[in-house]
Amino acid sequence: MVKRGLPVRTVGITGTGMYVPDRILTNTHLEQLVETSDEWIRTRTGIRERHIASPGTPASDIAAPAVRAALKSRGLSPEEIDHIIVTTVTPDMFFPSTACVLQDKVGARNAWGYDLSAACSGFIFGLAAGYQAVASGSVRNVAVVGVDVLTTLVEWTNRNQCILFGDGCGTVILEPMDEGEGIIDFILHADGSGAQYLHMLGGGSLNPPSHATLDKGLHYLYQDGKAVFKIASTSMADVTMEVVERNGFAIGDISLIIPHQANLRIIEAVAKRLGIEREQVLVNIDRYGNTTAATIPIGLHEAALSGRIKKGDLVVLTSFGGGYTWGAILLRWELDTPQG
């Protein structure tokens, strides 16, 4: 196998967990909020329902059960975790970091950590950072957490966006591996000129919160859906092909591609550009909507639990999001399918 300049210590995923709030918002509910229809939402986005947090729920409350589940699946106690990377654009607050809040909440008292902001690509950026920390030998293990409560940034009167998002968390544990290949390679990109198409302008040092920023709605997410749609489809497909081919594989060797879940039509466009069948690509947007940093680890957890990916399978994770940020990670799945 060609190793592309990455450190030599082999690192892989040894545990997974997820959590979504109990509250479900269906398309029919949304029909009562804005002028839309279940039919429009299903055909234009693939979403049927999404889980949303009760008002006042911080990201750390959604992340804590997912972290506990991932630790349990690996058989680790919270004290045994060395490092926590929380990827989110909806942290509990600016500071302290949600990683610190979470460390306290789950009792991971020997861990240090930080938050990482790469919007929908947060999880794959965090996985790459976690990989490097374990590969370098500086930590024994990492909990990489993809969590967002994006419904807190949604303008509920705007039908272009309130239909798209849900809340949730997925977490993986990364550790050195004695055998197998774990994470084989990753390619990450950023293009800051894309910020104009996908952003939230208010609340930071550029536009500190004030009555004026509230009146202008700067605390809401903004996206130019059409612009993002086009570039997301081509970028995810092209970076997937690049990471597959530069490691000596063909796209047909990949058992499952787990793309960021922003729109079913984007996922279908990715499959078409790669020349693969829909079955080779994971889709769960129908049940969760776009959970931002959580889409990929939730998909990975469900695929592992259901046996959709099995020990020895090659898997690609790919994402596109605010920044712009995008990338792909190639890995060989090393866990047995859980029994029962």
Contact residues: ligand UT7, CB under 6 A: 36, 40-41, 44-45, 120, 159-160, 163, 223, 225-226, 228-229, 232, 262-263, 266, 290, 321
Backbone phi, psi, residue 317, to 5°:
-105, 130
**Joined tokens for residue 104:** 């306290």
CA distance 161 to 95: 27
Taking the complex as a whole, the smallest distance from the CB of residue 224 to ligand UT7 amounts, in Å, to 8
Taking the complex as a whole, the smallest distance from the CB of residue 44 to ligand UT7 amounts, in Å, to 5
CA distance 79 to 75: 12
Catalytic residue among 120, 141, 162, 263: 120
Q: Toward ligand UT7, which CB reaches closer, 140 or 265?
A: 265
Taking the complex as a whole, the smallest distance from the CB of residue 259 to ligand UT7 amounts, in Å, to 11
Q: Toward ligand UT7, which CB reaches closer, 76 or 162?
A: 162
Catalytic residue among 27, 263, 290, 301: 290
In the block, residue with structure tokens 């969760």:
288
The per-residue DSSP string of 108-162 comes to -TT-EEEEE--GGGHHHHHHHHHHHHHHTTS-S-EEEEEEEEGGGG--TT-TTTT
Contacts from 282-285 at CB under 8 Å and sequence distance 24+?
A: 282/256, 282/257, 282/258, 282/308, 283/46, 285/45, 285/46, 285/47, 285/261
Catalytic-residue membership of 120: yes
Residue 49: CB atoms within 10 Å: 19
Whether the bond between 96 and the residue before it is cis, its omega within 30 degrees of 0, is: yes
Alpha carbon distances (Å) from 157 to 32, 36, 45, 162, 218: 11, 11, 18, 7, 14
Alpha carbon distances (Å) from 22 to 49, 74, 108, 286, 290: 12, 25, 25, 16, 16
Cβ 292 vs Cβ 52: under 8 Å:
no
Residue nearest to ligand UT7 (CB): 225
176 by DSSP, 3-state: which? strand
Q: Toward ligand UT7, which CB reaches closer, 30 or 303?
A: 30
Taking the complex as a whole, the smallest distance from the CB of residue 186 to ligand UT7 amounts, in Å, to 20
Taking the complex as a whole, the smallest distance from the CB of residue 206 to ligand UT7 amounts, in Å, to 20
Catalytic residue among 27, 51, 141, 260: 260
Taking the complex as a whole, the smallest distance from the CB of residue 159 to ligand UT7 amounts, in Å, to 4
169: enclosing H helix or E strand: strand 167-176
Q: Toward ligand UT7, which CB reaches closer, 197 or 249?
A: 197
**Active-site annotation, residues:** 120, 260, 290
